[in-house]
Amino acid sequence: MEQETRRERPAVGIAVAKKAGKYRGRMPDTTKAKPERALALRAKGLSAEEIAKSLGVSRNTVFVYLRK
């Protein structure tokens, strides 16, 4: 029962906020560096680690940029 209450209360609050136009959900992710720059560096033959160092992001972020 306690778990049900914990699920219901936020859902009710979110529904009220959405009706009032104050809840928009999670904002789109921001990017530290331009994904186009990662693609350009990859085209030059740089590795993911080298691209990550030059852009100041993690290697995983580089792979996300290259997937887009």
Segment 15-68, tens digit of pLDDT = 999 899 888 877 777 677 788 999 999 999 999 999 999 999 999 999 999 997
Q: Which two tokens stand for residue 20?
A: 């009032």
- CATH architecture of structural domain 2-67: Orthogonal Bundle (1.10)
CA 53, 54, 57, 62 dihedral sign is negative
Asked whether the beta carbons of 41 and 51 are under 8 A apart, the reply is yes
Q: Is the pTM of this model over 0.85?
A: no
pLDDT for res 49: 96
pLDDT of residue 30: 66
Which tokens in the block code for residue 47?
């590795």
